[in-house]
Structure 1
Amino acid sequence: MFKKVLVAEDIDAVNSALKKFLLGIGIQEVVHASYCDEAYLKCKKAHLEQSPFDLLICDLSFRQDHRDETIRSGEELALILKKEIPETKIIIHSIEDQPGRVKKIISYVDGYVCKGRNGMNHLEQAINHVYQGKTYISPDIEQTLQQKNVKELSDYDLSILKHLSQGYTQDQISSRFREQGLAPFSKSSIEKKLKDLREEFGANTNPQLISIVITLQLI
């Protein structure tokens, strides 16, 4: 069983319940972080001191307050840690169940568990699977991901949509893509891609398209 676990969770009641649960299944040391930056620094410090965390259990959403945070979500935190300390196992523990976003996240974490009625049972199963070197997705999420209508967006699609949502015109997007070496960068290519995306998501206009992908939490 894992010996040293870091929980990144900003709700005190959830943190207390998780700590009690983790100690109850035999984990020796449970450390808590309320912010993503704090969790990152604790992971880096433990790694440098050659006493790393075996496992990070992380929520996706963190409330913003007066602190100026560099890492604003569990998704960002997981991605950074997988690049910098790849041996750290990561389980996402979140209420988020939008299939498009989940499908993207599970490509670089070791487990994904939805908070809910059976959440703790699924979390224990996830911990056991991940400890054995396997990946784990809670059954409710796995069933959702098997739906044929789950939307997948490429990095190119996401980049266009993010720029559009930030108020960039298609001419400006074309210029930025050219500067960044992101192809195809011609305005006609971007217009065609947006037309394809509008058809795929059933949107009549670009603002409606952006509204849909934001609602689905794809950007």
Structure 2
Amino acid sequence: MFKKILIAEDHEVRNLGVVNALTELQIDHFDFVSYCDDALKRIKTAEAEKEPYDLLITDLSFDKDHFQQNLKSGQELIREVKNIDPKLKIIAFSIENKPKVIDDLFKILSIDGFVSKGRHDGKELRNTIKKIFKGEKVIPQEILNSIRNAPLEITENDELLLTLLAKGFTQSEIEDHFKQNNITPNSKSSIEKRLNELREIFNAKNNIELVVICKDLGII
């Protein structure tokens, strides 16, 4: 079992649940930090002292306060940590439920497990730690189902198009933005055609519903 664990979590009540999970697994050496910057410092120090952590458990969202921080999210922390120790096992422990956001954690940031905060998260966290220790990747089934059912035909230009639409841009304004930034195709007819295709992909009746669906999936 893992011997040395670091937990980055800024809510004390959540820390109690994590402590209980680790105690049941008979893991004695674990440290808590409330800021991503502090987590990164701990990991760097542990590496320098040749006593690295085996596992990082981190939230994704951290409340802002009067302490200035360079790293403002769990995603930023994970990215920095991977540069220091690519082999460090990582669990994201979060209320995040957008399939694309979670999918990106695995595909882009190469995390090892995701645990949704909730009523039974202690049990899920214990099981996830056990499986990851055995070399498995752990994605909650409901998230896996959502990812599998999510449309795959979305490009970076589509994401920009949908983001501008969500901000209230008209199709003429989107056309101007695309042309100013040399994004092609950028004609009004091509933009309207792509919006029609996106509405079909997401089974949306109109652009408003399209934006709502894409926000729910974490695409924008």
TM-score norm. by structure 1 comes to 0.77
Q: Distance in 1 between matches of 2:43 and 2:82?
A: 11
How many residues get paired? 210
Q: What whole-Å deviation, never above 9, does each CA across 1:30-76 have from its counterpart, x for those lacking one?
A: 11121223222322332233322111111222222233333322233
State the Cα distance separating 1:78 from its structure 2 match. 2.2
Q: Distance in 1 between matches of 2:160 and 2:69?
A: 23
**SS of the residue aligned with 2:187?**
helix
Is the counterpart of residue 56 in structure 1 residue 61 in structure 2? no
Residue 188 to residue 142, structure 1, CA distance change in 2 (3 Å): same
Q: Is the 8 A contact 2:36 2:71 kept in 1?
A: yes
Q: Is the 8 A contact 1:4 1:53 kept in 2?
A: yes
Q: Distance in 2 between matches of 1:75 and 1:87?
A: 17
Q: Distance in 2 between matches of 1:216 and 1:104?
A: 12
Range 30-39 or range 60-69, more displaced: 60-69
| Corresponding residue of 1:73 | 73
Question: Which of 123, 126, 129 is the aligned partner of 2:125?
Answer: 123
State the Cα distance separating 1:174 from its structure 2 match. 4.4
Larger Cα Rg: Structure 1 or Structure 2? 2
Q: What is the one-letter code of the residue matched to 1:15? A: N
Q: Distance in 1 between matches of 2:66 and 2:28?
A: 33
Q: Distance in 2 between matches of 1:185 and 1:59?
A: 38
| Corresponding residue of 1:95 | 95
| Corresponding residue of 1:172 | 177
Q: What pairs up with 1:130-209 in 2 under 5 angstroms?
A: 130-146=132-148, 148=149, 150-152=150-152, 153-162=154-163, 169-170=173-174, 171-176=176-181, 178=182, 185-188=184-187, 191=191, 193-201=194-202, 202=204, 204-205=206-207, 209=210
Q: What is the one-letter code of the residue matched to 1:187? A: N
Which runs of 5 or more structure 2 residues have no equivalent in the other structure? none
Q: Distance in 2 between matches of 1:218 and 1:82?
A: 24
What percent identity do the matched residue pairs reach?
34
| Corresponding residue of 2:215 | 214
Q: Distance in 2 between matches of 1:132 and 1:41?
A: 28
| Corresponding residue of 1:181 | none
State the Cα distance separating 1:113 from its structure 2 match. 1.5
Residue 156 to residue 110, structure 1, CA distance change in 2 (3 Å): farther
- Aligned-pair RMSD on alpha carbons? 3.0
Q: Distance in 2 between matches of 1:143 and 1:83?
A: 30
Is the counterpart of residue 114 in structure 1 residue 116 in structure 2? yes
Residue 160 to residue 38, structure 1, CA distance change in 2 (3 Å): farther
Which runs of 5 or more structure 1 residues have no equivalent in the other structure? 179-183
Q: Distance in 2 between matches of 1:130 and 1:104?
A: 18
Q: What whole-Å deviation, never above 9, does each CA across 1:127-166 have from its counterpart, x for those lacking one?
A: 11111222112344334444x3x24444443355456657
Q: Which has the higher contact order (CA 8 A, sep 6+)?
A: 2
Range 207-216 or range 41-50, more displaced: 207-216
Q: What is the one-letter code of the residue matched to 2:143? A: I
**SS of the residue aligned with 1:128?**
helix
Q: Distance in 2 between matches of 1:113 and 1:199?
A: 32
**Greater than 6 Å deviation, 4+ residue runs:** none
Q: Distance in 1 between matches of 2:167 and 2:141?
A: 36
State the Cα distance separating 1:193 from its structure 2 match. 4.3
